[in-house]
Amino acid sequence: MTRAARVAGILSLAAALVVLDRAPSFAMPNFAQAYGVDCSKCHTAVPTLNAYGRYVQRSQYAYLDATVMKKSIPGWLGYQANYDSQAGAPDTHKVIWGNVALHADGLAGDNWSYHVQQWLQNDNQGGGLDTAWVSFNDLFKHNGYVEVGKLEVPAPSPYSMWFEIAPFATPEITVGEHTYQLDANRWGAKLGYLHAPISLDAAYTGSDADLNGATDWVPGNGKSLQYRAAFIEPKNPLEVGVYGATGTFPISDGLTDRYSAIAGYVQRDPKNAIPGVLFVYQKTHDNYPAAGATSAANSTGYTLDVYEPIVKDSIVLGFRREMTNDGMGTVNHVGNLDLTIQVAKYLRLYAEAGLSGSNPGNGVDRIGTPAWRMYVWWTMPVAKPKR
């Protein structure tokens, strides 16, 4: 398929979905459908969460009413078509059509909640299991929970729910042979407490693999204790917190790296003509980062993200700047400019321009080739038939 044909295909898909949106439709996702509210109740720009949405997420959905949730079917389907100017072979552009995910999430009675996301197809290949957890939410007078499965690790909400395309560099810093997973979905168990304005959670986590990772509890394969503490309220746009981890990682020569991480963050939603902001400063320590290492490595990193709705709930502009220093002589700089547009009720367009650079220790900042990325995301709700 030629590049022109691929671009035409994306535009045709968008046009078709706009036409579909004119038909009778229901709120999306199923939470909004059940409550009869717009997605902006929880999102600044889907999937970016506002203060209320972060509180619902942090409660493992226990903040919702099980009786109300019965009004919707707890499932929905998502489709993405992606474009990346740096994907594939050098100097080629690539469109990926095959990204289809099935979601099931919600409440089971008053005390249980769950979320499963299975990729039916991902990057034109067979899909894996992204998320699969169940939570019991009746601890500490219904303010606490215990959760098991492939879950979101304790970390700032933007790490899992954000409108920008590029992943965050700070929580994924690589130090020697060890790549941190401070924002990954991993198999494990999590204990949490949420009662405004206090949010506390800690998780023992292991593999990020598919179902085969659920039984991987061998300490030598890499395990981590991850935690977060934050001040958060559903009506307060400001959230302040800390997160971190301590764990082990196997090195190629058979020895073990014992590592730790600690970070502070501030997030404020855009409000009263002041842009939204996310700022993170992180420090990590690896006692044996690579085979043959003669000393420990202490790394640092920061993320500064500024975002602002241009047209209420329809167009949001964002800018991100990140730096990571692995403590072994490599400094990376990443920046990107993002735009998301609500094209139709269930259709959003995301576009990004990004630059990156590195300093390998010789004082020269090497700027990479600009990256141009975009995708369209269509989310199809499942509605109960009218009686």
What does the H/E/C string look like for 130-178?
A: EEEEEEEEEECCCCEEEEEEEEECCCCHHHCCCCCCCCCCHHHCEECCE
Q: Among 4-13, 31-40, 279-288, 311-320, which range has the highest average pLDDT?
A: 279-288
18-27, 77-86, 111-120, 186-195: least confidently modelled range: 18-27
What's residue 59's pLDDT? Answer: 94
pTM for this entry = 0.87
Q: Residue 18 — very low, low, confident or very high, per pLDDT cuts 50/70/90?
A: very low
Q: How far lies 213's CA from each of 126, 221, 222, in Å?
A: 17, 11, 12
- Structure confidence at residue 225 (pLDDT): 96
- Cβ atoms of 13 and 2 within 8 Å: the answer is no
The predicted model gives 341-347 an average pLDDT of: 86
With a cut of 60, say whether residue 5 has pLDDT above it: no
Tell me the average pLDDT across 3-24.
38
Instruction: Check the CA dihedral 49-269-55-231 and report its sign.
Output: positive
Q: What is the mean pLDDT of residues 208-220?
A: 71
Higher pLDDT: 35 or 202? It is 202
* pLDDT greater than 60 at residue 125: yes
pLDDT computed for residue 221 by the predictor:
64
- Alpha-carbon distance 268 to 25, whole Å? 32
Domain layout of the chain by residue ranges:
3-381
Cis-peptide, bond into residue 197, ω within 30° of zero: yes
Question: Residue 58: helix, strand or coil by DSSP?
Answer: helix
Q: Which fold has domain 3-381?
A: Porin (2.40.160)
pLDDT at residue 357 in the model: 58
Average of pLDDT values for 169-197? 95
